[in-house]
Structure 1
Amino acid sequence: MKILHDNIAENTHSLSKQTTFRIGLSGPPGAGKSTFIEAFGKYLTSKNHKVAVLAVDPSSSTTGGSLLGDKTRMPELSCDDNAYIRPSPSCGTLGGVTRTTNEAIVLCEGTGFDVVIVETVGVGQSEFAVADMVDIFCLLIPPAGGDELQGIKKGIVEVADIVIVNKSDGDLIPAARRIQTEYISALKFMRKRSKVWKPKVTRISSFTKDGIPELWDTLSEYRKVMVESTEFTTRRQKQLKIWMWNHIKDNILDVFCENHKVEDKLPMLENLVMKGAVTPGFAADLLLRDFIQTFK
């Protein structure tokens, strides 16, 4: 917490100089996210960058546990002195990121990491909250990721600044080229998030490392364009406000559940709702009324 408070006075300075770069990464299971981060991270450290990887693992809805095995899938990067890998459980949080991911980003930047990669648990209807805490959001897809309409349905494409087709090597090169063409066509019909940047689709191979240098050049181009147009700073400022409201929402729910009047009536109302004696909305109204009255 002390580091976070110390960074408050320095926040405006860091926003103006743009010394760090936050990269969000999401994609369906099997897209090769961990293998990509391993190859991409090693390339960045070879270019004298310090890389922090914040990987979020899905938590079991039954036991609440997570494997947290990202380091085992990134053996070389985890041993790199210029890299730091931090796996975290999602704990059931929607958006694919944990409640403290944004603080972890600031903490990593405060300790000298100039590139922070945030990997989410996968693609879904609400798995792109990470876009609200990074400078660029990358969607990683495999060559056999389905047709272009399937990608649009998931909604994740709408917030992607760049689509990366992974595993473009060997017999999969024709399939990778086809899916690249499909996504280029699909993106033409998407509403632009930026006035100065048009989302791009690129092909890479985490196995052969083909396309990794070109990808970094594209990311650097994006950063340069966004900084020059001031959208980079504006986006970070808006994200700070979003982070604040996310904390308020999370903490309000905790305060609500710990309220003594709510705790007294909650089991009874839950039981009545399950039996169909009262509607969920009516039960919620009763609990909220009692909760609000404790502050009057």
Structure 2
Amino acid sequence: MQTDELAERICKGERRALARAITLVESGRADHREQAQALLDRLTRAPGQALRIGLSGTPGVGKSTFIESFGMMLTGQGHKVAVLAVDPSSARSGGSILGDKTRMEHLSRDPNAFIRPSPSQSALGGVARRTREAVALCEAAGFDIVLIETVGVGQSETMVAEMTDLFILLMAPAGGDELQGVKRGIMEMADLILVNKADGDLKPAAERTRADYAGALRLLRRRPQDPEDFPKAICVSAVARSGLDQAWQEMQTLADWRRDHSHFDRRRAEQARYWFGEEVRRGLLARLEEDAEARARMATLGEQVAKGDLTVARATAQMLATLGVHR
């Protein structure tokens, strides 16, 4: 399919064309990258700006269950919801299960929803390398809400905050040391903390956990782009579908406040600048790996480090000096 035809079908909201386009942007082949860039250039002129919501949390906290219940509520209100679910890739085989569609059985059949699992391909930060480009494709296809479910690797999972408008952290009741709430990192970046599984016997524990996190959040310095009572913690239950309306109301309130105070567009501009720098760094690393002489020098120094003849710091300095970089 030609680029112009693919772009036209995406703008008409054709799901198969959108799926094919995401496959194209995720490909590492040089010719596919050229086609993907042409497609993205073509679609930058397409109208539409979705609300991008990142969802993070440890494995087993109920991210997929929450997204299905939350997504069904949103589509029931007339929204078009795209879900980009990032699955961890095996460090040994490089493969991913990509089973999120099976977990979201009802949402995957909803005509106003689109679910796309993608492998992380060992990318750090809890998201796949091309997730941001996939978001742009979903926006061009007419989806007004894009949910990004991250791998769920813990406190290092912060890169999703650099591609979303709202960053939601899902926590489990009685999940451990509540002092985690004052640690720098992922907790500090959350716009909203949702304590999931607040139903049945776990409801009292969820309320206590919510109070603990709410107290911890008050110790953090308020961000200038947020109203006074944010970030905040609330209880939800994806199974009982309770608290979802309140969570959505809080998300809308925060997004509207940022738009009204000019923080929304400014943040998106900062994110674009950030990803430009990331792409340049990745390109330089890729160029380094393609250079036969540089690979040979790396192998030689690596062998010396393995034998203990050179320290890591000394070998690094020598490699950078070979490349004309001094620090």
Q: TM-score, normalised by structure 1?
A: 0.92
Report the aligned-residue RMSD: 1.7
Q: CA–CA distance in 1 between the matches of 2:301 and 2:178?
A: 46
Q: CA–CA distance in 1 between the matches of 2:304 and 2:102?
A: 47
Partner residue, 1:266: 298
Q: CA–CA distance in 1 between the matches of 2:221 and 2:298?
A: 44
The change in CA–CA distance for 1:154 and 1:190 in structure 2 (over 3 A counts) is: closer
- Give the CA deviation at 1:154: 6.7
Q: Does the CA contact (< 8 Å) of 1:3 and 1:107 recur in 2? A: no
Aligned runs of 1:107-256 on 2, under 5 Å? 107-153=137-183, 155-197=185-227, 198-256=230-288
Displaced runs of 4 or more, over 6 A: none
Q: Does the CA contact (< 8 Å) of 1:141 and 1:165 recur in 2? A: yes
Q: Relative to structure 2, which stretch is displaced further, 73-82 or 192-201?
A: 192-201
Q: CA–CA distance in 2 between the matches of 1:154 and 1:227?
A: 26
SS in structure 2 of the partner of residue 54 of structure 1:
strand
Partner residue, 1:4: 40
Instruction: Tell me if 1:284 matches 2:320.
Output: no
Partner residue, 1:49: 79
Q: CA–CA distance in 1 between the matches of 2:123 and 2:222?
A: 28
Q: Does the CA contact (< 8 Å) of 2:225 and 2:258 recur in 1? A: no
- Give the CA deviation at 1:6: 2.1
Partner residue, 2:30: none
Instruction: Tell me if 1:35 matches 2:69.
Output: no
Q: Does the CA contact (< 8 Å) of 1:20 and 1:113 recur in 2? A: yes
Q: CA–CA distance in 2 between the matches of 1:191 and 1:258?
A: 45
The change in CA–CA distance for 1:154 and 1:70 in structure 2 (over 3 A counts) is: farther
Q: Does the CA contact (< 8 Å) of 2:259 and 2:265 recur in 1? A: yes
- Give the CA deviation at 1:196: 3.1
Which 5+ residue runs of structure 1 have no aligned equivalent? none
- Give the CA deviation at 1:287: 2.5
Q: CA–CA distance in 2 between the matches of 1:153 and 1:123?
A: 16
Q: Relative to structure 2, which stretch is displaced further, 105-114 or 120-129?
A: 120-129
Which 5+ residue runs of structure 2 have no aligned equivalent? 1-35
Aligned runs of 1:20-99 on 2, under 5 Å? 20-99=50-129
- Give the CA deviation at 1:167: 0.7
- Residue-pair matches, total: 287
Aligned partner of 1:3: which letter?
L
Aligned partner of 2:39: which letter?
I
Q: TM-score, normalised by structure 2?
A: 0.84
Q: Relative to structure 2, which stretch is displaced further, 284-293 or 266-275?
A: 284-293
Q: CA–CA distance in 2 between the matches of 1:261 and 1:225?
A: 54
Percent of residue pairs bearing the same amino acid type: 47
- Give the CA deviation at 1:123: 4.2
Q: CA–CA distance in 2 between the matches of 1:176 and 1:231?
A: 32
Aligned partner of 2:67: which letter?
I
Aligned partner of 1:212: which letter?
L
Q: CA–CA distance in 1 between the matches of 2:56 and 2:176?
A: 16
Q: CA–CA distance in 1 between the matches of 2:171 and 2:155?
A: 16
Q: Does the CA contact (< 8 Å) of 2:181 and 2:217 recur in 1? A: no
Aligned partner of 1:56: which letter?
V
Q: CA–CA distance in 2 between the matches of 1:77 and 1:127?
A: 25
Q: CA–CA distance in 2 between the matches of 1:58 and 1:186?
A: 30
SS in structure 2 of the partner of residue 37 of structure 1:
helix
- Give the CA deviation at 1:126: 1.8
* Cα deviation digits, residues 103-141 of structure 1 (max 9, x gap): 111111011111001111114232111001000000001
* Cα deviation digits, residues 218-276 of structure 1 (max 9, x gap): 11111111110010111111000011111111111111111122122222221111001
